[in-house]
Amino acid sequence: MADYEYEREGYYASWKGDDNGTLAIGVGVKTTFSEAPDIKWGGLAQMSWASYDGKRKNASSSSSYQTGTFETEVFEYQLAAGPTCTLMEGISVYGGPFMHLIDGNHYHKHAGGSREYDIEERASFGGYVGTQIDIAENATFNIEYQRTGDAWAVAGGICWMLP
């Protein structure tokens, strides 16, 4: 079960829906600007794409007018910079400022017809902090917390570094 929320100026609706499976793909580049024995300064640029579809029902109404299907496609872009400090061999903490941008489309179909909306966000600025643990010669495990004025996120993942 996926929770899905949609908001636009002057109108609010919250839907709960069954997601038929989510496909998400991302790519990024990370670089080091300068390096000292226990600290590195660097930055990254990354982009991701995700697509969701499924059935939805308006959580605040039993009207069939608001029951139907949805499709959402989201593009996410992020630029970040900051230090990475080595705590001990194989374990580092990192953090700094970032810029985050989201773009996409939302389409829903219901008994009363269909609607399509652009998902647009002005650039959001915020900060992040995380830890990186080496799990192999060319792979790391990361867990990170991000915060902007309007949102927050916790994420984790494994990065494989290309030779």
How far apart CA 61 and CA 133 sit, in angstroms, is: 47
How far apart CA 131 and CA 155 sit, in angstroms, is: 11
Q: What is the pLDDT of residues 105-163, one digit of tens each?
A: 877 777 677 777 777 776 689 999 999 999 998 999 999 999 988 788 898 989 888 77
Task: Place 3 in a pLDDT band, splitting at 50, 70 and 90.
Answer: very low
Nearest C-alpha neighbor of 116 from the set 163, 51, 53, 72? 72
Res 1 pLDDT > 50: no
Q: What is the pLDDT of residues 18-53, one digit of tens each?
A: 555 566 788 888 899 999 988 999 999 999 888 877
Across 5-14, 78-87, 96-105, least confident range: 5-14
**Residue 95 domain boundaries:** 2-160
Residue 22: its pLDDT value, please? 66
Res 11 pLDDT > 60: no
Q: How far is CA 59 from CA 10, 22, 26, 100, in A?
A: 18, 21, 31, 30
Residue 8: its pLDDT value, please? 41
Across 2-6, 14-18, 54-58, least confident range: 2-6
The larger pLDDT score, comparing residue 117 to residue 55, is at 117
Residue 53: its pLDDT value, please? 73
Nearest C-alpha neighbor of 72 from the set 118, 105, 28, 44? 105
Total of domains in the chain: 1
How far apart CA 116 and CA 133 sit, in angstroms, is: 43
For residues 95-110, give the mean pLDDT.
85
Residues 6+ apart with CB under 8 A from 4: 15, 16, 17, 19, 52, 56, 70, 72
For residues 45-68, give the mean pLDDT.
70
Residue 122: its pLDDT value, please? 67
| CATH code: domain of residue 27 | 2.40.160
Asked if residues 122 and 78 have their Cβ atoms less than 8 Å apart, the reply is no
